[in-house]
Amino acid sequence: MVSKTIVGVIVAIIIIAAVVAGIVGYYATRPSATPSIITTPTTPTTTSPTTTAPATPAEEAEEKVLVIGYTRPPDTLDPQKSTWVDITTDIVFARLINIDSEGNVIPGLAESWEISEDGKVITFHLRKGIKDAFGNPITAEDVKFTFERFIAPETASPSAPLVVGTLKEVKVIDDYTVQFIFEEPYGPILTMLATMPSAGIYSEEYFKKVGDVEFGTRPAATGPYYVVEWVRGSHIDYAVNPYYKRDYYPDPVIENEGPPYIKKLRFRIITEPFTLVSEFKAGNVHVLLEVPPEYYKELKDDPKVTMIPFLEYVLHYIGFNCQKYPFNDTRVRQAIAYAINREPIIEVALEGLAVPIHGPLVPTMIGYSEKMEEYAKQKYPYDPEKAKQLLAEAGWIDRDGDGILEDKNGNKFEFELWISTGELEAPKVAQIIQSQLAEIGIKVNIRQVEESAFTDLVSKGKHQAYLFRYGLIDAQILFYMFHSTKGVKRMFFYRSDLDAALEKMGTTVDPKERQKYIEEAEKILIDGCPMVPLYARKIFVAYRNDVVEGIKVNPYTQSLYFNDAKFKD
């Protein structure tokens, strides 16, 4: 059974979207009143270096194509080299292990595994008979090749340090047994292996035949689909992997034992929300990976649209520079926590499409603790009078009757709250915060900073306070955000007891034992209050139910399951 405490899942991934205009020869770009179904000939456009590409049954001379709207043009389709991994590679690469829809770690290409007592060796036992999309057999040698390439300096993988930590060797025991050997235990390793496309397995023979460049444009591996064609700025076409089995991702919500019923997918790259939604309403796009918030109300009442909600694993929060006056005083930070009312922020700025968060982790992050969320909620209820009391204790009083507090030297309590241009709702959120803090005598000046420069300026400590976000499917995000020497610099909240808890969390592989350190770190953060958690957004996948049925979403990994999806008759 799920325990969100059982393992973590890394955040890098899956806010998926899409795009584009001209779709060569397949499809009329003029919007139609009824759904447009693309059909493609069965002759494949790519072949295996070792076998003939899989052919479809002769009676299906033409097949329908499910069109998915996608908003972020990829840099590469090689997940080990990409700076952004999402559904475009997730559906191509199957992993050794997985996270199911209840948050459990479950088998994948590996049917079982053991972790050594010291946490430095994980032994995986592979299923027999695994094949990639072109029928190439997958053995322990392919697993070794996959991960040796992943950590090789010449690959320069952006995600390798995060995914595999201190992995130093992959050792083949026999054709179906492989060991991962680490320099030191890596706490989130199971989560990372279970969720990241860059941990997906592919055939060494296939990779060496097609080469590095083609593998990045038309990858084929062990997942339910493989890439047939990628036209940059336009679309990515996929064909079904005829050798795929439910065993490779045995989530109980998936019913289909074999390859997906829908044989062809197209990801249309459409970066502009209005165009994307217009094409969806016209029936030329069948699936929206993320409904633009401004179109939620318009689409939710459409009887031809089915929406699937899930919660993003991204926390939106107010962060303080804990080394800069006046936020170097814990009482001041705690006072602001008491003064923030999340309800109007969610209802007004986000139109209700979010849930309030009080602790450092979001419910869809594995490692999340309901106990610590409740602790934070009880510790800092909305209480403006308590906020005023703490500020008075810290020496902040309205000495001249103008409604703004002053310290003992007569300095007004006035600060800048930085917001990023990349956060569309940030101006509205900041204005509500500005109003709420004015009620306790604090003047807030809102400053908008370009997203491209935001984190750099914050890391240099130029700010007093800011409004931003962090996310990772795993509680390991706390290590990256708050460790004094190995984390990013944002809030400058450094404590030796916090470092110790974070280090234990990062090197404890046993899920139950690791959870103790996660909660220890959470309590230190809640008590010390270097930030005020605000909310996590609700995200909606939408699909045309007059075209397709049976699409499912894993709420933890936010992966889409096309296994049971079928075109409507």
Q: What integer pLDDT is reported at residue 38 of this predicted model? A: 61
* Model pTM score: 0.83
Report, as an integer, the average pLDDT of 140-158: 97
Note the pLDDT tens digit of each residue in 258-275. Answer: 999 999 999 999 999 999
Helix (H, G, I), strand (E, B) or coil at 174: strand
Q: What integer pLDDT is reported at residue 85 of this predicted model? A: 85
Report, as an integer, the average pLDDT of 219-235: 97
Between the alpha carbon of residue 201 and those of residues 95, 133, 218, 256, the distances in Å are 6, 12, 15, 22
- As a residue count, the chain comes to 569
Query: How does strand 531-544 pair with strand 354-356?
Result: antiparallel
Note the pLDDT tens digit of each residue in 496-522. Answer: 999 999 999 999 999 899 999 999 999
Please name the residues in contact with 172: beta carbons below 8 A apart, sequence gap of 6 or more: 140, 141, 143, 144, 178
39 backbone dihedrals φ, ψ, rounded to 5°: -125, 145
Q: Are residues 564 and 256 in contact, defined by beta-carbon separation less than 8 angstroms?
A: yes
Dist CA 440 CA 404 (whole Å): 8
Check whether 305 has a pLDDT greater than 70: yes
3-state secondary structure 13-66: CCCCCCECCCCCCCCCCCCCCCCCCEEEECCCCCCCCCCCCCCCCCCCCEEEEE
Dist CA 46 CA 551 (whole Å): 27
- Tell which residue, 230, 235, 234, 224, has the closest CA to residue 197: 224
Q: Which residues sit opposite 38 in a β-bridge? A: 65
Q: What integer pLDDT is reported at residue 32 of this predicted model? A: 35
Query: How does strand 62-70 pair with strand 264-269?
Result: parallel
* Triad 364, 366, 369: Cα angle to 5°: 85
H or E stretch covering 316: strand 314-320
Tokens of 444: 């807030």
Q: Where are the alpha helices (DSSP H) in 508-542?
A: 511-528
Q: What integer pLDDT is reported at residue 6 of this predicted model? A: 29
Beta strands in 44-85 (DSSP E): 62-70
Dist CA 353 CA 342 (whole Å): 13
Any idea which residue has 């931003």 for tokens? 468
Q: Are residues 537 and 292 in contact, defined by beta-carbon separation less than 8 angstroms?
A: no
H or E stretch covering 112: strand 110-115
Q: What integer pLDDT is reported at residue 50 of this predicted model? A: 41
* Triad 18, 23, 28: Cα angle to 5°: 110
Whether omega before 273 lies within 30 degrees of 0, making that bond cis, reads: no
Report, as an integer, the average pLDDT of 217-222: 98
Q: Which residues sit opposite 539 in a β-bridge? A: 310
Check whether 46 has a pLDDT greater than 70: no
Q: Average pLDDT of the chain?
A: 89
> Could you please report the per-residue DSSP string of 74-109?
-S-S-TTT-S---HHHHTT---SEEE-TTS-EEESS
Question: Cα 433 from chain centroid?
Answer: 27
Amino acid identity at 385: E
Q: What integer pLDDT is reported at residue 36 of this predicted model? A: 57
Note the pLDDT tens digit of each residue in 110-145. Answer: 999 999 999 999 999 999 999 999 999 999 999 999
Cα radius of gyration rounded to whole Å, the chain: 25
Helix (H, G, I), strand (E, B) or coil at 478: helix
How many angstroms separate the most distant Cα atoms in the chain?
87
